[in-house]
Structure 1
């Protein structure tokens, strides 16, 4: 969870900075910085869960493979 929170903080800062530089508006920069990274952070959490599941499946498959005999 700590990784997700620090990712969110970084993302909020970047989103605000980019939008503020593009628009010059603190209000629009703040709105985008709250909405877009919040959605992205939730997506990142599920993305990590999916990748962890895929990694576990890959390890299980490798463990089940027969050991090849040397020629």
Structure 2
């Protein structure tokens, strides 16, 4: 697990900062829509948590794509 974290540290940091920003935005929007603090906090924690995991794997897929393009360019 430590090797995984070390190998993916930049992406994990980016994912973490995105997560915090997303929670703040989601809480503000949810509160504006519902007017209910508890509901806005619940929504703002649930949806960004799922999004953070999706973002991490999305970012890794784009990195792989970039590496493949670079390898093809170097081979040509």
Say yes or no: TM over 0.5: yes
- Unaligned segments of structure 2, at least 5 residues: 1-11
Deviations along 1:43-67, one digit per CA (max 9) or x if unpaired, are 00000000000000000010111xx
Normalized against structure 2, the TM-score is what? 0.83
Aligned length: 65
Deviations along 1:17-46, one digit per CA (max 9) or x if unpaired, are 001001101111011111000000000000
The root-mean-square deviation of aligned C-alpha atoms, in Å, is 0.6
Normalized against structure 1, the TM-score is what? 0.88
- Unaligned segments of structure 1, at least 5 residues: 66-71
Identify, as 1 or 2, the structure richer in helix. 2
Q: How does 1:2-21 map to 2 (within 5 A)?
A: 2-21=13-32
Q: Runs of 4 or more off by more than 6 Å in structure 1?
A: none
- Work out which of the two has the higher radius of gyration on C-alpha atoms and give 1 or 2: 1
2:48 is matched with 37
